[in-house]
Amino acid sequence: MSTTHLGMPAVRDDSHDTGLPTYSPAGQGNLRGATSFPKAAHEKLLDTQLRRNLGKATGIIRGKRAGVVAELDDWEELRLAGSAIKADVMARLPELLEQLEENVTARGGHVHWARDAAEANRIVADLVRATGADEVVKVKSMATQETGLNEALAEQGIAAWETDLAELIVQLGHDAPSHILVPAIHRNRSEIREIFLREMPNVDPALADDPRELAMAARAHLRRKFLTAKVAVSGANFAVADTGTLSVVESEGNGRMCLTLPDTLITLMGVEKLVPTWSDLEVFLQLLPRSSTGERMNPYTSTWTGVTPGDGPQEFHLVLLDNGRSAVLADEDGRAALHCIRCSACLNVCPVYERVGGHAYGSVYPGPIGAVLSPMLTGISGPDDPNASLPYASSLCGACFDACPVRIDIPNLLVQQRAASVESHPRPTAQDLALRAAAVAMSSPGRFAAAEKGLALGRLVAGRKGRISSLPWPLSHWTDSRDVPAPPAETARQWWARTGGNDDEQEGRA
């Protein structure tokens, strides 16, 4: 981490060209919410419908994932390989990107580079305008969510049509995605039916809330768009450096529609989504579907390399996005967050995510991985930065690590980002002072024993009830819902000093 690498270049947080690792500039894209996590969670925890929707959906997907993962007796070996391939990618990222660029270009594609979200959006908007189109169809893409591409295109008079069913639900509902894989996971069928009835032109007013009927309504709504679209925008799940091949993994066929029918395809991709060789995909095409949708394989995976005459878009642009990734890469431990393949398994197993949902995280990357990736991409500006609260949005239970197909040690990264959060304080906060004092007290047995004398006060507060039900702020956050036991009459240390550990039978029975 930052304190130990004396030779490490400072991570920059402005957009001047310094050639140094740079955070995503403040005020761009969707990596930072407006409020701290506990405040946002307060609202979400009150939403009983949300709790029910999330609990049901994450429960189903956890079960499906567990089933298909258990089928493979080499799952752990695949995870180890996936993790090591990504570590290798990070160690050679600039070289591999140049190799990718060379291969894409050799096959008739065009490669663009974007320092940040605003630049990526500008590149895409310019490319769309150059085709003369005023609308695009979109495949679900985290990168374009991150940059806020749809809003940027709208400012340029270009309409972006989301074609993934869940993204469509979010777009029609004037809502924000709350999950990496299932952006409308916070909505149930009857809410979706209402959105469709309200927002979809020509929808059958007798539309029922059956998922099949709703999916068919989406099909009818989008089919004309697919068949007439001139430009598509996609993200990418993987890019293969040694062949220049791009890949999109999907289920509905909306991806195939976008990747195949339009004349122009623009793909926006974070620089980290690389694998070195074609055969490396054999690992990720096993890890990703089982971890994300809980299927042996997702219905459709498309791969393409540059432009193929007579098949698919004849103009292909690949936009490579930094937007803070260089800052993450500069962190020895933290760069593991760039290994993420956006499967969302960590969200589905996270007890915090399950109860508050994705919106509470503010960033487009929610859940455990988002709680580390978002502040790492943006940097933490101080104690009032909403992203400073994200690393604390976890009980460090570790379920995310066990579920992660590329073995990202998310609990450790959470702790490291907590340190980054603490170390961003320009002046000590009350918490800083309390923990510093505690560290002083606890690093000497004499001071510690002296501090323990304060426990007598606790016994006084507890009185004859033997429990404490109300404490002052901030400990009131505990006693709001939980009692505290009265401290014992004698600490273990005192007991040992008094008895040498010998009279436990008499003690306490007197």
Of the residues 118, 318, 352, 408, which one makes contact with another protein according to CB under 8 A: 352
- Nearest distance from C-beta of residue 48 to another protein, angstroms: 11
Q: Cβ closer to another protein: 154 or 211? A: 211
Tokens of 2: 């930052």
Q: Under the criterion CB under 8 A, does residue 299 sit at the interface with another protein?
A: yes
Q: Under the criterion CB under 8 A, does residue 493 sit at the interface with another protein?
A: yes
Say what angle helices 75-91 and 93-106 make with each other, to 10 degrees: 90
Binders of another protein among residues 366 to 385 (CB under 8 A) are none
End-to-end CA distance of the chain: 54
Say if residue 463 is exposed, middle or buried (CB neighbours under 10 Å; 0-12, 13-18, 19+).
Answer: exposed
Which secondary-structure segment (H or E) carries 307?
none
Q: Cβ closer to another protein: 20 or 26? A: 20
Of the residues 35, 199, 332, 461, which one makes contact with another protein according to CB under 8 A: 332
Q: What is the DSSP letter of 271?
A: T
Tokens of 116: 């940040």
Q: Cβ closer to another protein: 60 or 70? A: 60
Cβ atoms < 10 Å from Cβ of 109: 23
Q: Under the criterion CB under 8 A, does residue 176 sit at the interface with another protein?
A: no
Query: 3-state DSSP call for residue 45?
Result: helix
Total site size for another protein, rule CB under 8 A: 190
Rounded distance, CA 253 to CA 480, Å? 49
Of the residues 174, 311, 427, 472, which one makes contact with another protein according to CB under 8 A: 311
Of the residues 149, 330, 345, 410, which one makes contact with another protein according to CB under 8 A: 330
Of the residues 49, 67, 155, 351, which one makes contact with another protein according to CB under 8 A: 351
Q: Under the criterion CB under 8 A, does residue 69 sit at the interface with another protein?
A: no
Tokens of 76: 């752990």
Rounded distance, CA 162 to CA 221, Å? 11
Number of residues in the chain:
510
Of the residues 203, 278, 314, 461, which one makes contact with another protein according to CB under 8 A: 278
Q: Under the criterion CB under 8 A, does residue 304 sit at the interface with another protein?
A: yes
- Nearest distance from C-beta of residue 134 to another protein, angstroms: 19
Q: Under the criterion CB under 8 A, does residue 265 sit at the interface with another protein?
A: no
- From the list 209, 200, 162, the residue with the least C-alpha distance to 183 is 162
- List b or e across 116-126, with b for residues whose CB sees 16 or more CB atoms inside 10 angstroms: bbbbbbebbbe
**CA 379 from centroid of its chain's CA atoms:** 15
Rounded distance, CA 234 to CA 259, Å? 8
Binders of another protein among residues 425 to 484 (CB under 8 A) are 431-432, 435-436, 438-440, 442-445, 448, 452, 455, 464, 466-467, 469, 474-475, 477-478, 480-484
Q: Under the criterion CB under 8 A, does residue 237 sit at the interface with another protein?
A: no
Of the residues 326, 344, 363, 374, which one makes contact with another protein according to CB under 8 A: 326
Binders of another protein among residues 109 to 128 (CB under 8 A) are 112-115, 119, 123
- From the list 401, 397, 393, 402, the residue with the least C-alpha distance to 360 is 393
Look up residue 418 and give its amino acid: R
Q: Under the criterion CB under 8 A, does residue 506 sit at the interface with another protein?
A: no
- From the list 383, 366, 362, the residue with the least C-alpha distance to 29 is 362
Q: Cβ closer to another protein: 32 or 193? A: 193
Binders of another protein among residues 388 to 407 (CB under 8 A) are 391-399, 401-402
Please name the residues in contact with 165: beta carbons below 8 A apart, sequence gap of 6 or more.
Answer: 184, 215, 218, 252, 254
- Nearest distance from C-beta of residue 30 to another protein, angstroms: 20
Q: Under the criterion CB under 8 A, does residue 273 sit at the interface with another protein?
A: no
Q: Under the criterion CB under 8 A, does residue 133 sit at the interface with another protein?
A: no
**CA 322 from centroid of its chain's CA atoms:** 16
* DSSP E strand stretches across 231-343: 231-234, 238-240, 245-250, 264-270, 274-275, 300-305, 315-321
Which of the ranges 27-35, 41-49, 146-154, 370-378 carries the binding residues for another protein, by CB under 8 A? Answer: 41-49
Find the angle CA(63)-CA(68)-CA(71) to the nearest 5 degrees: 130
Q: Under the criterion CB under 8 A, does residue 135 sit at the interface with another protein?
A: no
Site track for another protein across 44-63, x = CB under 8 A: -x-----x-x--xx--xx--
- Nearest distance from C-beta of residue 162 to another protein, angstroms: 12
Of the residues 175, 253, 315, 461, which one makes contact with another protein according to CB under 8 A: 253
- Nearest distance from C-beta of residue 66 to another protein, angstroms: 11
Of the residues 176, 197, 207, 422, which one makes contact with another protein according to CB under 8 A: 422
